[in-house]
A and B are shown apart, each in its own frame.
Chain A
Amino acid sequence: MLVQADRDKCEGHGLCADVAPEVFELDDDAVVVLRHVQVPPELERKAEAGARVCPVAALRVAT
């Protein structure tokens, strides 16, 4: 599974990092940073959940 983040859309609400800190974090400017681009199988559900809660739809997962 791949995760994509649109850093231009990201407004730093941080819900992804709350839900899936293993996959998403915010940098010092509160812009999303991916800890994995290629998500290991054990984190796939987390990655999906984290991408899902982005209020501005800046995150995508693709299998």
Chain B
Amino acid sequence: MTASPVSVPTSDVDVFASDVLADPYDAYRSLRDAGPAVHLTSHPVWFLGRYADVRAALADWETFTSAQGVALTDDMNAPMLGGVLATDPPEHGVLRAVLSEKMAPRALAKLRGDIAERADALVADVVARGSFDAVTDLAQALPVDVVADLIGLPQEGRDKLLPGADATFASFGPLDERMMARMPVFMDYMGYMQSVSERSVLAPGSWGAAVWEAVDAGRIPAETAGPLLTAYLVAGMDTTVAAIASYVRFLAEDPELFALLKADPALIGGGFEEALRIESPVQGFFRNTTRDVDIDGVVVPAGSRVLLSNGSADRDERHYPDPDRFDVHRNPVDHLAFGYATHGCAGQGLARIEARALIESLLRRVDRIEPAGEPVRHEHPVVRGLERLPVTVVPTAGA
């Protein structure tokens, strides 16, 4: 029996075009409506944007392998091969275990108090100024310091972390003139990461030192230490910043939401999940198919590169009713902003602690937060975040 020919959904939408990156959600909807898997003509890639399909693909590492890299281009996949992002089980599990035993929530419990104190000091400082940029003065200040201390990095050179992580994630997208403009920063960061991956540079007792202890204990090969440290040095910087800034933006633009959370701080956690859902910091990573795979009736051939769009999946009306609305009561804990399954974000517990600490402190210390100018979007092919978010705050009465 011969299968009847099925027309392959195709689209000329370029999900990396500047105007689409500025506001990708209409494009995502059109791609979701075009089919469960859509062959893009703008780049050699298939787009998966429906929640159920993206989730299933993330869980099926045997069909959607990460071992050929999770970037769009072969050139940029090459340097990541063998690292924790670009391996499948069982290799992946061995590498991830070294990270997760430090970053799993059980290990983070003792950090909570320290992070809350740092967050509160930072918030006190910006609130005293009255007006500030919630991206550069608030959202960027906490994660970089916290993560750098945990990794055990020297003070010198920490200014490279944010732009370096930004450029590294950008390298997962098209190798075009915009990436070329980031290339000097990217190359410089490669050098920086190599230099701080030296055992002697990392503070004793740090997460970084623990990677070398895993080498000494024979748990992981020595050549994987550098790539593992790279994961620490890239994953938890601009992503966390984007998530926090996006949450602050919702609070600034919706006084009712702010008042609701201030009156009931128990909603802060669910609000963060909703902020993550509606503006997923990582909009998507790539996979490669190892066999012909039927996605809800559309066959994606073996050897295809596939963009798993977390950003689209988290706005899929097939899964989330009224998906473009921020609903603080939705508590969408099944969102895909952190990915899912094998490569689900190992640092998501830390991100939650950082974000909640900052927002809790902000809600305690101010009665109102208001926009003080138009937010400026940061153009980036993978990480959806803001460049600037000017705000004004009214300190809590009587505080």
Contact = CB atoms under 8 A, between A and B. Distances in A.
Interface of A: 11-15, 18-19, 26, 29-31, 52-53, 55-57
B174 interface: no
Given A12-B104, A13-B349, A30-B104, 9 more contacts: A11-B104, A11-B105, A11-B346, A13-B104, A13-B348, A52-B334, A55-B345, A56-B341, A57-B342
Nearest to A52: B334
Q: Which 3 A-B pairs have the closest CB atoms?
A: A30-B106, A57-B341, A11-B104
A57 B105 contact: no
The winner among A26, A29, A31, A55 for most chain B CB atoms within 10 A is A55
B334 A53 contact: yes
Interface string B57-97: 00100000000000000000000000000000000000000
- Measured as residues with beta carbon below 8 angstroms from the partner, the interface class of chain B is 10 to 19
Which secondary structure dominates where chain B touches chain A?
helix
Contacts of B59: 57
Contacts of A13: 104-105, 348-349
A50 to B, nearest CB: 10
Contact of B344 (A19, A29, A52, A55): A55
A61 to B, nearest CB: 14
Given A12-B104, A29-B106, A30-B105, A53 B333 contact: yes
A8 to B, nearest CB: 8
A40 B344 CA distance: 30
26 contacts: A11-B100, A11-B104, A11-B346, A12-B104, A12-B349, A13-B104, A13-B105, A13-B348, A14-B105, A15-B333, A18-B333, A29-B106, A30-B104, A30-B109, A31-B106, A52-B334, A53-B333, A53-B334, A55-B338, A55-B340, A55-B341, A55-B344, A55-B348, A56-B342, A56-B344, A57-B340
